[in-house]
Structure 1
């Protein structure tokens, strides 16, 4: 029974997806490969991942073959800067409870979804998995990054000391797509741009503000593609590298993302640059050498992904 607390006895493999109602979780559940699994995706109301005892009991009771840990408190620069305590503590507690709960319950495999925020700031080269903990973190999302580093290291330690436990970490680049958050106060770059430019179209505005000078570069992947990679990894978790980036291996300037959204929406106004606003790291591009050696590449182009995401945003706006 997809997306519920229980499963039907089909004999298929069983997976517990944390954060099943978030963007990644819903893309996982809607992916064609989801039909090959019995999925448990309890809501926050049904299972509080911050409750260590409840998580441990759930992990012992469900008898799943795999955990995909996609839950967490997430957001863009504004959200991270407004609540650094929450981004550190909540993600730290959730990561520890899920990973140790699964391990102590004897669940044989876990795919932990980390974040490219874990990488040091100020690197001009594509970020390699070996770069983690080799330099200063970006201050605007340091709390979130620290929590994700702890969860990643915990999976490393488990796999190192218990070779039969396939506890692996995937580091997606920035994601966007269906089921994203579009409130600029809580969202990441691409959905925030879609909301801002859509408002400009609807209200006849001739100008849209960009934080910074627009030259910072970011790598964004369509969330359905991330789900495709995760399900591929779920087939044989032990065959995954211990730590692996997934991304498109290419990046664009912030201005280029604004231009792509404006082009799709047919908005022809001007951009105003606010140089007083924070922009985070100047560049954050993933090295996807391990991913390519593993045999996977992201299939959706930026323009196609943005078009699909705008369609989803418009559908949600019409329904509300």
Structure 2
């Protein structure tokens, strides 16, 4: 991939896709192709085929997906399965048929088994059962990464995948029920500060450990992978370190300036004790993240305030 390459970013309005577009522009790439959901239905094979024929990109970054938190995944598994399978099948197969030279498909670390050995290595894929609450989404993403692997093996095309860990940053989803843990905490502490609420209670003991990667770091990793002549079929895209939910809550509390009390509702479940990726494979290719969690959360809160002020906050 070089500065003259025509690059299609699917899902450019989402958190990851928009970060990829920002990173491309910052590095001097100008020939970037995007289509909104209204302009292009990625679940329609005919529409995707027509798009590739007309746009003729050299590279496709597939960051589009139907996403949501545990509640959404558990409530609407049929939609999560159908839409994400359709997006993967159409964007990958039609790219091959249109002669697109390179495809990078973005999945998620939820593709790995629920009880995978920690930290999670790439070769733990399909070794034991998935987490039931997001199984539909995970299976669709596994299908996508396997399509890239099999098309690469059979047809010799440079199709490969990256599996980001929990991402956060500009353009995140702050919906009260359907957001992930970090944006959910940020919204709750911000609103508690605004209303002078005496306390904020979070579920569980606060001891589970989770890994978080800023979206700009993720975009940097994606562009790094696109420059490799022989990238892995799929690779973890994370920071390789984790933080307890309790410490994360205290960090968000400090960043937002909330002065009340943080409490833990230990009658509620904790979930998986730990979920951390092994990033030794991508580090061996010469990349590692640059944004520490403390700096990243402060940056994310400034993005939250800006998006709230200008009416673009996703909620």
Report the TM-score when normalising by structure 1.
0.92
Q: Separation in 2 of the partners of 1:235 and 1:298?
A: 16
Runs of 5+ unmatched residues, structure 2: none
Match of 1:197 among 189, 194, 198: 189
Runs of 5+ unmatched residues, structure 1: 1-10
Please state whether the residue corresponding to 1:179 is helix, strand or coil.
Answer: coil
Match of 1:285 among 276, 288, 301: 276
**Alpha-carbon shift at residue 279 of structure 1 (Å):** 4.8
- Whether the 8 Å CA contact 1:213–1:273 is kept in 2: the answer is yes
Please state whether the residue corresponding to 1:239 is helix, strand or coil.
Answer: coil
Report the counterpart of residue 6 of structure 1 in structure 2: none
**Alpha-carbon shift at residue 275 of structure 1 (Å):** 4.2
Number of aligned residues? 309
The answer to whether residue 265 in structure 2 is matched with residue 304 in structure 1 is: no
Report the counterpart of residue 315 of structure 1 in structure 2: 306
The answer to whether residue 12 in structure 2 is matched with residue 20 in structure 1 is: yes
The answer to whether residue 247 in structure 2 is matched with residue 259 in structure 1 is: no
Cα separation, partners in 2 of 1:276 and 1:137, compared to 1, 3 Å: farther
**Alpha-carbon shift at residue 160 of structure 1 (Å):** 0.9
**Alpha-carbon shift at residue 278 of structure 1 (Å):** 5.1
Please state whether the residue corresponding to 2:226 is helix, strand or coil.
Answer: helix
Q: Separation in 2 of the partners of 1:302 and 1:85?
A: 34
Report the counterpart of residue 81 of structure 1 in structure 2: 74
The answer to whether residue 285 in structure 2 is matched with residue 294 in structure 1 is: yes
The answer to whether residue 216 in structure 2 is matched with residue 214 in structure 1 is: no
Match of 2:179 among 166, 180, 187: 187
Please state whether the residue corresponding to 1:170 is helix, strand or coil.
Answer: strand
Deviations 1:111-149, CA, capped at 9 Å, x for gaps: 000100001012342000000111111111111101101
Report the counterpart of residue 7 of structure 1 in structure 2: none
Report the counterpart of residue 151 of structure 2 in structure 1: 158
Cα separation, partners in 2 of 1:294 and 1:275, compared to 1, 3 Å: same
**Alpha-carbon shift at residue 186 of structure 1 (Å):** 1.9
Deviations 1:3-56, CA, capped at 9 Å, x for gaps: xxxxxxxx8110111001111111111124453241111001110001111101
- Whether the 8 Å CA contact 1:138–1:280 is kept in 2: the answer is no
Report the counterpart of residue 235 of structure 1 in structure 2: 227
Report the counterpart of residue 216 of structure 2 in structure 1: 224
Q: Separation in 2 of the partners of 1:317 and 1:83?
A: 28
The answer to whether residue 238 in structure 2 is matched with residue 247 in structure 1 is: yes
Please state whether the residue corresponding to 1:259 is helix, strand or coil.
Answer: helix
Report the TM-score when normalising by structure 2.
0.94
Please state whether the residue corresponding to 2:28 is helix, strand or coil.
Answer: helix
Please state whether the residue corresponding to 1:36 is helix, strand or coil.
Answer: coil
Q: Separation in 1 of the partners of 2:245 and 2:103?
A: 34
